[in-house]
Amino acid sequence: METYIPETMKAAAIDRYGGPDVLQLHELPMPRVSSKKVLIRLESAGIGVWDADVRSGEFEFGKSGFPKVLGNDGSGTVVAVGKGVTRSKVGDRVYAYSVEGGFYAQYVAVKQDDVALAPANLPTEEAGALGADGVTALIGLEDKLKIRRGESLLIFGASGGIGHMAVQLAKRVGVRVLAVASGKDGVELVSRLGADAAVDGRREDVASAIREHAGEGLDAALVVASGKELERVLAAMKKGGRIAYPNGVEPEPKGPPGVKTIAYDGVPKPEVFKRLNALIAAGPFHVELGKTYGLDDAARAHQDLGQHHLGKLALRIHAH
């Protein structure tokens, strides 16, 4: 059965760099499905904290020129595939993460290597906010920190998009997790998701919580947010410990002497999606959507990006 694909689509795009108000609803031509690419009818798209930097022109991301459609991850159904596509077929329920952008829209065309089957135990809406943050959390934990069962791990920024997924993934691997979250609601969220100990980085004495949780010092730390407490917290690292943080965390975390600090990017690859999906399938998994918005409300979503919220903000998209 042929899937109906219209010639145009609605998208939240910018015609110039600026504040949240430059994000406007556009009617744009349907993306082309060239070879090795997959066309996805989107139902949900993640709103990354970095999207504000792309919108303001501080950070060059994706294709150059205007109108520019923001967004790096989302989920929905494959409606067409280009020549040479072997990883996806029409009808697949998928999620995707691509550095080329284009997800604040009803449809997006992405390279097949940037697409994975959506985990069966995740609703499509949650899968829409999984790609960028899930991949970044997994690479930080497994590839950069190389966490091992029984180790003590600090997650700083644990109630945000990357952080709350990292809590769950680290627990899957059998690590003891001390989560530094934001606000009372953040502490409740990460405790519910399995953190062994959780503190409010804004209000509580994090240093004494670390002493209680890991008296002998921390083996590893994943830093996905900044905060004035951070330097004092990282002083509790064991000699020979490891700190990892995604590029973009400012100021860059610094550990004490004898502790290795690793900056990295969360890059989508088929084998990373495969590992991520296997961990997610191993038990209940939750993607916290702080708030969801319609495509025509993308400007308001960007205003809210700077406000306190849990997990990740997302767009709910209704295709033609």
pLDDT, tens digit only, all 320 positions of the chain: 457 889 999 999 999 999 999 999 999 999 999 999 999 999 999 999 889 999 998 887 767 789 999 999 999 999 999 999 999 999 999 999 999 999 999 999 999 999 999 999 999 999 999 999 999 999 999 999 999 999 999 999 999 999 999 999 999 999 999 999 999 999 999 999 999 999 998 776 777 787 787 778 899 999 999 887 788 888 889 999 999 999 989 888 988 899 999 999 999 999 999 999 999 999 999 999 999 999 999 999 999 998 999 999 999 997 55
Express each pLDDT in 202-214 by its tens digit.
Answer: 776 777 787 787 7
User: How does the average pLDDT of the chain come out, rounded?
Assistant: 93
Question: E strand or H helix at 171, and its extent?
Answer: helix 161-173
What is the bridge-based pairing of β-strands 197-200 and 8-14?
unpaired
pLDDT, residue 1, reads 47
Q: Mind listing the domains of the chain with CATH numbers? A: 8-130+287-316 (3.90.180.10), 133-240 (3.40.50.720)
